[in-house]
Amino acid sequence: MAMGKILIVDDDINICELLRLYIEKEGFSVVIANDGGQAITKFKTEKPDLVLLDIMLPVFDGWMVCREIRKTSQCPIIMLTAKGEVFDKVLGLELGADDYVVKPFETKEIVARIKAVLRRVGGGVSIADTAGESKKEVRYDGLVINLTNYELRVNGEQIDTPPKEMELIYHLASNPNRVFTRDQLLDEVWGFDYYGDSRTVDVHIKRLREKLEGVSDKWALKTVWGVGYKFETKE
Q: What is the pLDDT of residues 137-174, one digit of tens each?
A: 899 999 999 887 788 999 989 898 888 888 899 999 99
Tally of domains in the chain: 2
Is residue 25 included in any domain, yes or no? yes
- Report whether pLDDT(43) > 80: yes
**Do residues 115 and 13 both lie within one domain?**
yes
Query: Coil, strand or helix: which one is 170?
Result: helix
The whole domain housing 65 covers 5-120
Instruction: Compute, in degrees rounded to 10, the torsion defined by CA atoms 72, 77, 81, 87.
Output: 70
- Report whether pLDDT(136) > 50: yes
Please count the residues of the chain: 235
Strand ranges across the sheet with 143-146:
137-140, 143-146, 151-154, 157-159
Strand ranges across the sheet with 77-81:
29-33, 5-9, 50-54, 77-81, 99-102
* Per-residue confidence band for 188, with pLDDT thresholds at 50, 70 and 90: confident
**Mean pLDDT (the chain, rounded):** 84
- CB 196, CB 190: distance < 8 Å: yes
Select from 164, 162, 158, 133 the least CA-distant residue to 144: 158
Is residue 129 included in any domain, yes or no? no
**Do residues 12 and 107 both lie within one domain?**
yes
Is residue 173 included in any domain, yes or no? yes
**Do residues 17 and 113 both lie within one domain?**
yes
- Report whether pLDDT(212) > 60: yes
User: What sign results for the dihedral spanned by CA atoms 136, 199, 55, 14?
Assistant: negative
The per-residue pLDDT for 189 is: 83
Kindly state the average pLDDT of the residues 29-40.
Answer: 96
* Whole-angstrom distance, CA of residue 7 vs CA of residue 5: 7
The per-residue pLDDT for 219 is: 94
Which one of 97, 120, 143 terminates a domain? 120
More reliable by pLDDT, 66 or 190: 66
**Do residues 57 and 138 both lie within one domain?**
no
The proportion of the chain whose per-residue pLDDT surpasses 70, expressed as a percent, equals 85
* Per-residue confidence band for 130, with pLDDT thresholds at 50, 70 and 90: very low
**Do residues 163 and 195 both lie within one domain?**
yes
